[in-house]
């Protein structure tokens, strides 16, 4: 959770040297090159051939894989990166903490869960917290300019695009993971997601890395190896050993780490108004999203020993 909280600060630092699109490519191409072998090795050790993932997909599921890979990598991270060019890193962490609330809405649409007054009240409270922060907190652009209310609102709105993308990819992943191996599925999704970013690759991007810049290199290494490969591997391992409710409780530390680390490393303002707004955001997220988010996490964690076949027994496990 500390690594994921620090990712918002690393993105902010990386954007000093790369465009939002370039940073997506620089982060996920190496991540995919590490995650896919890990997933294939996990699949091979448990028995079925390494091509079993693709053989098990129906035509409809293949479309779901393609959509999920797009939402997980370019859509989510491009919106997040663009948003972080407009709002402080700590704010971005708070916006992204709306993921569980967004998952609750997706679960109602795709999994036919009932969305009651409690969840809508939680979503309203979370958004009220964000509005409160935008209205009461002065924010500055990287060049020192004071952001207008419109600019702050636009940055939050663009960052919400990342939340919408992640909610969709997480909900769709639950359908893909049933009867398959989570780490192998993750590896293929991240690899396809990285392929979506190839059009962003330009010779100028490679030239930026040829010039040794410790700040750029360490930010990308932290995002690729620490936050993506190590972070997701630990998360999937945790879900396979703990109940999702136990693991999910730690998610709420991510925006808190983001606020604290952004204060220490970037000097971002952390005052009473920010803390009050953050309490509203997190309180609304807990109220709106906990049940659905944890239900989906339980589904992701319930298949670590699956044999790749779509049968009732594997689903019950």
Highest mean pLDDT among 26-30, 172-176, 207-211: 26-30
71 pLDDT exceeds 90?
Answer: yes
**% pLDDT > 90, the chain:** 22
Residue of 158 and 311 predicted with greater confidence? 158
**Is residue 8 pLDDT above 50, yes or no?**
yes
* Location of structure tokens 């991510």: 254
* CA distance to 38, 160, 282, per residue, from 122 (Å): 38, 16, 9
- pLDDT tens readout for residues 242-288: 765 566 667 777 888 888 898 888 888 777 777 787 787 777 767 76
Within a 13 Å sphere around the CA of 191, how many CA atoms are in the beta-carbon half? 14
Calpha distance 274→278 (Å, rounded): 6
**Torsion region of 201: left, alpha or beta (phi above 0 gives left; psi -120 to 50 gives alpha):** beta
What are the boundaries of each domain within the chain? Answer: 2-316
Mean pLDDT is lowest, of 70-74, 144-148, 248-252, for 248-252
Question: Rounded CA gap, 231 and 294, in Å?
Answer: 18
pLDDT at residue number 308: 43
pLDDT at residue 238, rounded to an integer:
77
Q: How confident is the model at residue 25 (pLDDT cuts 50, 70, 90)?
A: very high
Residues 240-243: contacts with CB under 8 Å, at least 24 apart: 240/182, 240/301, 240/304, 243/298
């Amino acid at each position: 959770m500390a690594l994921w909280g620090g990712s918002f600060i690393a993105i902010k630092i990386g954007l000093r040297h790369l465009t939002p699109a370039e940073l997506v490519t620089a982060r996920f191409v190496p991540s995919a090159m590490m995650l896919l072998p890990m997933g294939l090795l996990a699949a091979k050790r448990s028995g079925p051939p390494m091509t079993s993932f693709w053989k098990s997909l129906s035509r409809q599921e293949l479309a779901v894989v393609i959509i999920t890979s797009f939402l997980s990598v370019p859509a989510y991270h491009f919106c997040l990166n663009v948003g972080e060019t407009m709002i402080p890193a700590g704010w971005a962490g708070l916006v992204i903490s709306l993921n569980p609330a967004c998952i609750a809405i997706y679960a109602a649409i795709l999994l036919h869960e009932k969305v009651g007054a409690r969840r809508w009240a939680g979503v309203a409270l979370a958004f009220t917290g964000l509005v409160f922060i935008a209205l009461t907190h002065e924010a500055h652009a990287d060049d020192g300019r004071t952001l207008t209310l419109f600019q702050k609102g636009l940055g939050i709105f663009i960052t919400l695009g990342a939340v919408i993308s992640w909610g969709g990819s997480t909900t769709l992943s639950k359908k893909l993971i049933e009867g398959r191996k989570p780490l192998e599925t993750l590896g293929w999704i991240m690899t396809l997601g990285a392929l979506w970013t190839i059009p962003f690759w330009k010779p100028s991007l490679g030239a930026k890395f040829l010039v040794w810049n410790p700040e750029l290199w360490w930010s990308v290494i932290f995002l690729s190896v620490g936050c993506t490969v190590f972070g997701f591997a630990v998360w999937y391992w945790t879900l396979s050993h703990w109940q999702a409710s136990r693991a999910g409780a730690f998610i709420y530390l991510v925006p808190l780490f983001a606020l604290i680390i952004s204060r220490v490393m970037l000097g971002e303002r952390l005052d009473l108004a920010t803390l009050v707004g953050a309490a509203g955001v997190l309180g609304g997220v807990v109220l709106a999203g906990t049940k659905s988010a944890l239900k989906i996490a339980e589904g992701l964690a319930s298949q670590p020993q699956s044999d790749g076949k779509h049968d009732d027994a594997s689903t019950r496990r």
